[in-house]
């Protein structure tokens, strides 16, 4: 769509997974350097390609955070997408930053209400089916497969998560294979809770390795959050 509108689009890829999911060679820029060289390379790319905007999926992993700082220093517009809570259906978009870096952090609830009262947004109803988690897990496993077995051209690539790549890939694969059993267990557990005859409270959880949990909360482990809630 951006190209159809007349814009030049470039994708910087940091590993074989990034490359695999960018179809064709047009606009792809492989980055094969290390983390210490990234900011300088980013500035060179911006100058060489006359970049005016950068688009990221999340803004806290080190390569993204460094790019955001440099981009703002250079006067670029920063666009940040992030997975919505009702994933994998929802995707959020904010300009300048997401989660703890969002402009909403400096906006009061009353200011939000006032702004919404003046708007005429046609907001669609949430679908009954949020999205197919099987696709979400499958493509996650496929992406990690490329990073594990086809990453020879990106030897300096460094992951932003503490969990080893092999372990994370194994978890994705295991969850994909066990999905029917997990769904059945969830159905049974939900039925027992709803028909147990006693009150219950729901606490929304986030993945422990998720950037919003690690970077924008006072907790380091999910057990710490659960201890406070319970």
- What are the pLDDT digits (tens) for 147-206? 989 999 999 998 877 677 777 777 778 888 888 899 899 999 999 999 999 898 888 888
Residue 89 is predicted with a pLDDT of 62
**How many angstroms separate the Cα of 226 from the Cα of each of 186, 206, 230?**
20, 11, 6
Distance CA 21, CA 223 (A): 35
pLDDT at 102: 92
Confidence band for 54, pLDDT divided at 50, 70 and 90: very high
Residue 129: per-residue pLDDT? 59
**Predicted local distance difference test score (pLDDT) of residue 128:** 56
Q: How far is CA 119 from CA 92, 110, 112, 148, in A?
A: 19, 14, 11, 47
Torsion angle of C-alpha atoms 201, 222, 58, 44, degrees rounded to 10: 170
Lowest mean pLDDT among 64-73, 121-130, 131-140, 144-153: 121-130
Model pLDDT for residues 56-81, shown as the tens digit of each residue = 999 999 999 999 999 999 999 999 99
Nearest CA among 86, 91, 97, 92 for reference residue 64: 97
Q: Where are the beta strands (DSSP E) in the chain?
A: 11-13, 28-30, 53-57, 77-83, 91-95
> d(Cα 170, Cα 145) in Å, to the nearest integer?
10
- What average pLDDT does the structure give for the chain? 88
Percent pLDDT > 70 in the chain is 92
**pLDDT value of residue 12:** 98
Going by pLDDT thresholds of 50, 70 and 90, the confidence category of residue 85 is low
pTM of the prediction?
0.79
């Amino acid at each position: 769509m951006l190209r159809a509108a007349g814009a030049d689009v470039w994708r910087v890829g940091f590993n074989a997974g990034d490359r695999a999911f960018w179809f064709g060679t047009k606009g792809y820029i492989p980055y094969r350097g290390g983390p210490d060289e990234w900011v300088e390379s980013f500035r060179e790319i911006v100058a060489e390609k006359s970049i005016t905007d950068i688009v990221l999926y999340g803004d806290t992993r080190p390569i993204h955070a460094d790019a955001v700082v440099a981009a703002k220093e250079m006067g670029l517009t920063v666009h940040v997408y992030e997975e919505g809570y009702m994933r994998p259906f929802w995707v959020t978009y904010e300009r300048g930053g997401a989660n703890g870096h969002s402009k909403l952090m400096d906006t009061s609830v009353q200011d939000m209400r006032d702004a919404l009262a003046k708007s005429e947004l046609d907001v669609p109803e949430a679908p009954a089916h949020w999205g197919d988690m099987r696709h979400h897990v499958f493509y996650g496993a496929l992406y990690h497969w490329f990073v594990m077995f086809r990453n020879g051209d990106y030897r300096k690539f460094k992951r932003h998560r503490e969990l080893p790549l092999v372990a994370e890939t194994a978890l994705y694969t295991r969850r994909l294979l066990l999905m029917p059993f997990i769904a059945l267990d969830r159905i049974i557990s939900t039925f027992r809770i709803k028909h147990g005859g006693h009150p219950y409270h729901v606490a929304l959880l986030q993945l422990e390795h998720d950037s919003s949990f690690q970077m924008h909360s006072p907790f380091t482990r999910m057990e710490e959050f659960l201890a406070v809630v319970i």
